[in-house]
Amino acid sequence: MPETLKILALEPYYNISHSVFLEGFSKYSRHNVKTWSLPGRKWKWRMRGSAYHFADLAARMDPEDYPDVIFATDFLNLADWKAICPKPFRDIPAVLYFHENQASYPLSKHASGDHDYGWINLSSCLAADRVLFNSEFHRSQFLGSIREALSLMSDGVPLDLADRVHGNSEVFPVGIDFAGHDLARNTSAAKPSGPPVILWNHRWEYDKRPEVFVEALGALVDADVDFGVVICGESFDGACPAFKEIGTLLGERLLHLGFFESKEEYYSAVASSSIVVSTAAHEFFGISVVEALYLGCIPVLPRELSYPEILPEKFHSSCLYRDFDELREMLEGFLRERPEGLAEEMREVGGRYHWRDLAPRLDAILEGMA
């Protein structure tokens, strides 16, 4: 086996999902992972300015501590960082990991397009020695957007830029440390008795389409189906117009509304739920869904985005919907009759993303680079 490597992780946007990734990898990797990070806010400044911050840290680093490989994420302008950091760092191999990208990220109806950040992502790819995407859907979306943007340029465009990125990239899914989830599973080994609980555990943002979820709940209320609802997830401004009247719509069916400050409370709520729902118009991976699968929730998800990659094909017809009517029908079907053994199968599906199994794969990629 290769000797233990010194891995320097550069994370300009250390928010919930990004921090969980690095914390889990650091815990399960056989190598020494050191993380430089900035808080997960002001994302535009992070993409433009974090390179200066990390280059300054590199300039003050003892040469004896120089890493063997750099692991950067998509909020870093890797090309800028390599240009302005001390010269020895420019020769250290760098792997770039995409949690999301700004070339194909959907805009809200109130936002105006700013293509600069997509170009930053492209420059970072070309500066990296290896590029990793968290799903094949994500990689395809990004490369398609880059090809489209380059086709609109007037002149001076190398024809193979997207092909270079494709040839230098691969898919590596998000790993999850399920230690806290296991504790919740052991505490409540069985789903509680009573009506099944529908879980919606996503960011309260336009691209997750909470209004579609509320419409589906209204249809279930009209159908007089017995159920409870837990709505959680990160909300950056604490408001969501779609949920404004949710209490009136659901009454006692609404068991929780809002972000869980405690991880233990969140895991317990997920473990007590029966069905996890996504109504997203955009999803590059889907950590919250994988967590729910691992805790025994039956998924009802769009038949697009990254979800067909998460679920094995044998579950596609029963758990992936094409339109609103199928969403409503699947929900009502699972509420009225929960298939025996399906929850346990979903635990196994979620378990495929345990860092215990994925960390050796990422270790091998980084060893190959170093």
Has residue 106 been placed in a domain?
A: yes
Residue 110 pLDDT greater than 90, yes or no: no
* Position 111 pLDDT exceeds 80: no
Q: Enter the pTM of the model.
A: 0.93
pLDDT score, position 313: 97
If asked whether residues 211 and 263 sit together in one domain, one would say yes
In a domain, 335, yes or no: yes
The model's confidence at residue 189, banded by pLDDT at 50, 70 and 90, is low
- Residue 205 or 31, more confident: 31
The 10s digit of each residue's pLDDT in 291-343 is 999 999 999 999 999 999 999 999 999 999 999 999 999 999 999 998 889 99
Q: Using an 8 Å Cβ cutoff, are 39 and 14 in contact?
A: yes
Question: C-alpha distances in angstroms, 13 versus 21, 36, 100, 113?
Answer: 12, 10, 11, 21
**Is residue 308, in this structure, part of any structural domain at all?**
yes
Task: Calculate mean pLDDT across residues 189-217.
Answer: 90
Q: What is the mean pLDDT of residues 230-246?
A: 85
If asked whether residues 211 and 340 sit together in one domain, one would say yes
**Are 298 and 183 in a shared domain?**
yes
Same domain, 276 and 293: yes
Residue 27, domain member (yes or no): yes
| Residues 166, 185 within the same domain | no
Does residue 295 share a domain with residue 167? no
On whether residue 64 sits in a domain, the answer given is yes
| 205 and 154 assigned to the same domain | no
Distance set, CA 268 to CA 273, 300, 310, 366 (Å)? 9, 20, 23, 35
pLDDT band at 109 (very low <50, low <70, confident <90, very high): low
pLDDT above 60: residue 183? yes
* Average pLDDT of span 191-209: 90
Question: Cα dist. 63→66, 71, 261 in Å?
Answer: 5, 18, 40
Find the domain containing 78 and state its range.
6-175+355-369
288 within a domain of the structure (yes/no): yes
Mean pLDDT of the chain: 93
Does residue 155 share a domain with residue 107? yes
Q: Are residues 127 and 243 in the same domain?
A: no
Same structural domain, 145 and 96: yes
CATH number of the domain that residue 253 is part of: 3.40.50.2000
pLDDT tens digit string along 239-283?
A: 789 999 999 999 999 999 999 999 999 999 999 999 999 999 999
Residues 240 and 274 in one domain: yes
The predicted model gives 78-90 an average pLDDT of 96
Q: Using alpha carbons only, what angle is made at residue 171 by residues 169 and 174, rounded to the nearest 5 degrees?
A: 135
Number of domains in the chain: 2
Distance between CA atoms of residues 198 and 228, nearest Å: 6
Q: Do residue 27 and residue 95 come from a single domain?
A: yes
In a domain, 287, yes or no: yes
1 within some domain: no
